[in-house]
Structure 1
């Protein structure tokens, strides 16, 4: 039985006249691609119940009893306490969460069945307004990962400012080891081109350099989910793309917007990049990186 949508015509994106129903329709259309990448993962919800012109908030802990089709996952915090995070394992759960005002979904790097991550994420963030340095950084990082460390990687616009470079891995290593690897790669990259790239967290120390953020590779940290809509004007989408697409001078972090993608999906014209699972171990790459840096 279909869920009843409360206030389906509520304007979530007033400038573009995008309603709650429009957002739900988009997520239903994209779910065959998005679902496998978010199911069985704890989710942080970015909620704007009154639309993006009003204040929004992040929600990790579910404090009310959800409907039977929406499952929760008990997640241990650093202080030893527990929170109940949402799982979005089906369209019904997705519909319910968007109906509650969720615009953007952020997922953990591990599935509920494992305490070990199955992906490494490098968040490339520009210090200025130009997208070109981020594009260049992504290709440079790809060269390090694929040619030197033999790791296949994907790239995704964030729908915000930069790009995510994502490395799928077999979940065999603890978060600490994966984060140390990500840090070593980021440091190696910034050491090779210190005038272009940095791992400096403090913005006032970065100058014009691209920030290589590896800190998302930590237990219970989340990153924006692929194909997720962002809470900015025009409803940009965090979109996985091919490396060939990244070469396009027209591309930027907010290039893909809801109205265009939704229309293409409705006409079955959208040929969007699918992030296919890849089984690859980090262990050999860690050894290789240590040898390179020695």
Structure 2
């Protein structure tokens, strides 16, 4: 059977190709919402509504692609393809190894639709804005009570995050309900105490994500330590429910705060991204009040566009709410003084200054490590 002829879509005046529109991407949905056409149309809709572009425009973005649908192989694409339309741009990123690469950097709705046609389910964005990226908020529109950073990056770049990201990840027998309770009963009050804004969303699976918009005056080392300090305070307030342990063998049935989502080159599923789930669930921004009475299955490619049309995007003004992180860095200093230094980095990273031994506690032999966490050969 010959391949169907591609269709050409108009995306805000830019022509974008849709190939194999009737290929089934979500077998459980079948032709009733599970076609490639449905995925691409979802992304065209939320991009043109503005919500998706608020989340991804101007950010280094990795693509989680399934060209043969959710039952096929995954392609996790960090580098922009060599051949792409003229409207698609890239931005240079520096990996932990110090190597550089050119990551996809969406700017307009057509860019997102082009990526969707490649089989992209999930957009994974860096917490940075690329050089030259337009910022929705600026120093004149800080949130009430926000602190100005003492050494702000003079312009957007990919070395100074403008977001802290809290990943509340259920471990063991914990569930979305546990992550939601930690977000509502522990994290939200703590952010209020510290004068920090928090923007929650479903992860699209079992977890909850909360973003804190910040001024881009600190590097990845500082912002990651700031999140570690915040996570440790959550753990102190309810150690039976929350853990900061990087090692799965120590987490038990608790919600893990994945602080390493704030390390360089780590990215998270963007707001309004589709996840690899049987019924095309979407990582969906919510108000705190909405979070209290929702389930991940409520938000899919079929339901989210109508939700946006009805009540708008609760994250529309996130860039206008940026704050400084001085209060968190003071917490870092207190933790350091109490002997609570840095935490392990992911295994693919080079050894980082001040990092403890990167070995599972059950496998650690004390005499093989020096006081600085270096292995003794």
Return the TM-score normalized by structure 1.
Answer: 0.92
SS at match of 2:197: coil
Q: Which residue of the partner structure matches residue 159 of structure 1?
A: 204
Distance 1:151 1:197 in 2: 20
Residue 235 of structure 1 and its aligned partner are, at CA, apart by: 0.4
**Corresponding residue for 2:54?**
36
Matched, 1:9 2:55: no
Aligned to 1:260: 303
User: What are the residue-to-residue correspondences of 1:48-87 with 2, within 5 Å?
Assistant: 48-87=66-105
Residue 191 (structure 1) aligned to one of 226, 229, 236? 236
Q: Which has the higher strand share?
A: 1
Contact kept? 2:176, 2:208, Cα under 8 Å: no
Q: CA deviation at 1:162?
A: 0.5
2:310 is equivalent to residue 269 of structure 1: yes
2: distance between equivalents of 1:103 and 1:181? 31
1:20 aligns with 2:64: no
| Structure 1 unaligned residues grouped into runs of 5+ | none
Deviation for aligned residue 1:28: 1.6
For the aligned residues, what is the CA RMSD?
1.9
Alignment pair present for 1:119 and 2:137: no
Structure 1 residue 96: Cα displacement: 1.3
CA distance in 2, matches of 1:284, 1:192: 18
Partner in structure 1 of residue 150 of structure 2:
none
Native 8 Å contact 1:159 1:255 kept in 2 = no
- Matched residue pairs, number? 289
* 3-state DSSP of counterpart to 1:11: coil
Question: In structure 2, do the counterparts of structure 1 residues 285 and 80 end up closer, same or farther at CA, with 3 Å as the change threshold?
Answer: closer
Q: Which residue is 1:227 aligned to?
A: 272
In structure 2, the gaps of 5 or more residues are: 1-13, 132-156, 339-377
Measure how far apart 1:236 and its partner are: 0.4
**Paired residue for 1:103?**
121
The question of whether the paired residues in 2 share the 8 Å contact of 1:62 and 1:84 is answered with: yes
Give the number of the structure whose alpha-carbon radius of gyration is greater: 2
**Does 2:191 correspond to 1:145?**
yes
- Who is 1:131 aligned against? 176
Query: Offset at 1:105?
Result: 0.3
TM-score normalised by length of structure 2: 0.72
Residue 158 of structure 1 contacts residue 254 of structure 1 at CA under 8 Å; is this kept in 2? no
